[in-house]
Structure 1
Amino acid sequence: MAEHKRKRSDLGMQPEEVRARASALREEMEGLLRYFREVMAEDLGLGSCGGATSQKGAIACFMEESDLPLSRLGEVIHARLKEGDWKGKGDLTVAAVKGVVVAVGQRVAYGIPNPDADVLEDESPSCLWCWEV
């Protein structure tokens, strides 16, 4: 005869204590997310990518640590390259930029994983997406 395991619904805590702990954890998580966004927003002086000697190098520089989804990242980098003095920029397309982004980097989630997320396009703030070269 198989024994049925009972689930412990209260974990030895009163409902008020469970709600208080959940609220405290939610506040702590929101604070950590705010801190992460502040740190990511700091300008490290690398935004110009002036040291890059090729379009591929400049794309890698512009994409590094960005949290944007691929579609928007491709458009932003394309616009920045069009503004700069890059060889062959007349032939450059958003699709080509996105192709280089996917070839030289990957988008990593440092936050709460979402198994159903589209890795290249998800914008869930709790995932803490970051492009890495």
Structure 2
Amino acid sequence: MTEVEPMKIGIGDETKPNTNDPDQKKKPLKRKRLEPSLCKASPEEKQAKIDSLRNEIISLVRFCKELVLENRRALLENVEKVGNSSASLNCMIACLMEESDLPLFKLVDEIFEKVKGRTGNGESVTKASVKSTVLMIGQRLCYGVASAEADLLEDETECALWCWEVRDLKLMPKLVRGPVKVRRTCRKKIHERITAVLGKFLLL
């Protein structure tokens, strides 16, 4: 029986397109241009958007202030329960300072009026000692919109939403630590939203 020789298929023999042939090159796709009316807002639409963003920022600032005012009473109520010692004096100053929006010099005056007559480390409290304690246990944060040149400790711009916070919550009475943490989280969320809205505002 005659053996049939297998057929050889030359893969390399297939005709390949000539990539060097200019006729074979793909033509670049042209991007469709948007009509001017679709990509550019009218002055009226732009102003309406600006007003909307501005009103949202104002509402956020107002809400943040109301949040602090409604809940700060609980902190101030705890001041009268604090004892008369060096540690309790720091606790008292912490309660008086937490969530205050005052500039440093006004905050020191306000706290001093409420703690004068007490003793700290065996010495009578002075404005200088109150200021030193405030700067040691607290920090002033901006949750709104502040100028780059603003004085971190003394600026009083309303839209900056300045807020004093105790660095270590252990200085605060246990009963208020939880609510204070929640309000701090709320302020951070408000700050994030204000930053986002401001970014949109600047793009207009």
1:60-79 aligned within 5 A: 60-79=94-113
Q: Give the aligned partner of residue 122 of structure 1.
A: 155
- Distance in 2, matches of 1:122 and 1:113, equals 9
Q: Give the aligned partner of residue 12 of structure 1.
A: 40
Contact 2:103 2:153 in 1 (8 A): yes
Contact 2:98 2:164 in 1 (8 A): yes
- Distance in 1, matches of 2:108 and 2:119, equals 18
TM-score normalized with structure 2 length: 0.54
Structure 1 unmatched ranges of 5 or more: 1-10
Contact 1:67 1:130 in 2 (8 A): yes
Contact 1:54 1:86 in 2 (8 A): no
Task: Decide which of 118, 122, 131 is 1:86's aligned counterpart.
Answer: 118
Q: Give the aligned partner of residue 96 of structure 1.
A: 129
Q: Give the superposed CA RMSD.
A: 2.1
2:69 matches 1:41 = yes
Contact 2:139 2:165 in 1 (8 A): yes
Which structure: greater helix fraction? 2
2:141 matches 1:108 = yes
Number of residue equivalences: 121
Q: Percent identity?
A: 41
TM-score normalized with structure 1 length: 0.81
